[in-house]
């Protein structure tokens, strides 16, 4: 047992090194005064100052945040109703079919999804830009929210709904006062997952952006193609830190909610 634990710990450590070492390497050289990734000659914040002084880049950051927030909010609403529809479906075969259809966007390659949206928007006459990016982000975020909310619904005891109905609660009251409070952790999880996916997405966004509209991921790609610049490193570092902050906020918020539930359960007992 001890050897197995040591082996699993070493394997997990190797995985984390492979995943995070390139990121930390990039972050380290974002402070390099020399402006390259070969020799570190001194510590500087000049590349970060260059990022914040770029008005076009600031506008792209604002657009990216707006798209991420709007798509996350709308996909969370749609995802909650989608999870409820799957949960309330009676037949097992129909429920499995709906769940499989929901998972198609999760398992399909991003290139195929992006190309499909490009063809769809072209056929519908939707101009590529803010609206096309927003619709695409909502579409691939909804399945994520469904997968976050559905397990919480399955954990909920049907007797809660039956008890509420026996006490005279209407369907809307059951939804707002019984179901939604119970699945709130799943809703928060879905929202934050959709937010991080939207902020980080490149492949789908690359296909559906246009008319002068761009997001951070697409902008970083276009700048990186022009040559290695430490401003790209600085921008990538900021995106990583923002994403990390979102994950930490979600972690501590769900942890706090769990402690509140434990305390309330102890008081009730």
CATH number at residue 173: 1.10.3720.10
Residue 226 has pLDDT above 80, yes or no: no
Most confident of 22-36, 136-150, 164-178: 136-150
**pLDDT at position 72, please?**
94
Do 26 and 94 sit in the same domain of this protein? no
Residues 24 and 79 in one domain: no
Query: Do 6 and 105 reside in the same domain of the chain?
Result: no
Q: In this predicted structure, what is the pLDDT of residue 20?
A: 86
Tell whether 160 and 68 lie within a shared domain. Answer: yes
Helices 55-88 and 92-107, interaxial angle, to 10°? 160
Q: What is the mean pLDDT of residues 70-84?
A: 93
Band the pLDDT of 260: cuts 50, 70, 90.
Answer: low
Contacts of 136 (CB under 8 A, 6+ apart): 113, 114, 117, 204, 205, 207, 208
Whole-angstrom distance, CA of residue 112 vs CA of residue 101: 16
Query: Residues 98-114: pLDDT tens digits?
Result: 888 888 878 888 888 89
pLDDT number for residue 269: 46
The pLDDT of residue 257 is 60
Question: Are residues 11 and 95 both part of a single domain?
Answer: no
Does one domain contain both 48 and 119?
no
Q: Are residues 109 and 199 in the same domain?
A: yes
* pLDDT greater than 50 at residue 143: yes
Domain that holds residue 17: 1-53
34 and 72 both lie in a single domain = no
36/81 same-domain check: no
Q: How confident is the model at residue 81 (pLDDT cuts 50, 70, 90)?
A: very high
Q: Verify that 97 and 187 share a domain, yes or no.
A: yes
In a domain, residue 128? The reply is yes
For the cut 80, the answer to whether the pLDDT of residue 63 exceeds it is yes
Do 93 and 13 share a structural domain? no
**Cβ contacts of 36 within 8 Å, gap of 6 or more:** 29, 228, 230
Average pLDDT of the chain, as a whole number? 84
At 55 the pLDDT is 86
Task: Give me the number of domains the chain comprises.
Answer: 2
Residues 2 and 61 in one domain: no
Mean pLDDT for 88-96 is 83
Q: Which residue has the higher pLDDT, 239 or 130?
A: 130
Q: Work out the percent of the chain whose per-residue pLDDT is above 90.
A: 19
Instruction: Give the model confidence (pLDDT) of 190-221 as tens digits.
Output: 998 898 889 888 889 999 998 788 888 888 88
Integer Cα distance of 20 and 120 in angstroms:
37
**Is the residue at 236 inside a domain?**
no
């Amino acid at each position: 047992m001890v050897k197995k634990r040591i082996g699993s710990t070493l394997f997990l450590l190797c995985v984390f090194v492979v995943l995070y070492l390139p990121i930390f390497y990039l972050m380290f050289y974002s402070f390099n005064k020399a402006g390259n990734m070969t020799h570190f000659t001194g510590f500087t914040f000049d590349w970060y100052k260059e990022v914040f002084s770029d008005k076009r880049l600031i506008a792209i950051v604002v657009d990216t945040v707006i798209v991420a927030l709007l798509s996350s909010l709308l996909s969370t609403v749609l995802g909650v109703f989608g999870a409820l529809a799957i949960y309330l479906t009676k037949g097992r075969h129909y429920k499995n079919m709906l769940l499989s259809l929901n998972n198609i966007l999760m398992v399909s390659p991003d290139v195929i999804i992006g190309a499909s949206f490009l063809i769809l928007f072209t056929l519908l006459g939707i101009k590529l830009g803010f609206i096309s990016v927003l619709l695409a982000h909502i579409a691939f975020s909804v399945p994520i929210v469904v997968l976050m909310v559905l397990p919480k619904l399955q954990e909920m005891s049907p007797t809660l709904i039956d008890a509420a109905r026996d006490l005279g609660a209407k369907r809307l009251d059951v939804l707002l006062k019984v179901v939604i409070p119970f699945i709130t952790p799943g809703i928060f999880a879905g929202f934050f997952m959709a937010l991080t996916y939207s902020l980080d997405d490149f492949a789908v966004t690359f296909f559906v952006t246009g008319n002068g509209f761009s997001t951070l991921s697409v902008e970083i790609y276009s700048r990186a193609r022009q040559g290695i610049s430490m401003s790209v490193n600085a921008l990538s570092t900021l995106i990583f830190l923002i994403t990390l902050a979102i994950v930490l906020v979600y972690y501590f918020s769900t942890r706090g909610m769990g402690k509140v539930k434990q305390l309330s359960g102890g008081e009730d007992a």
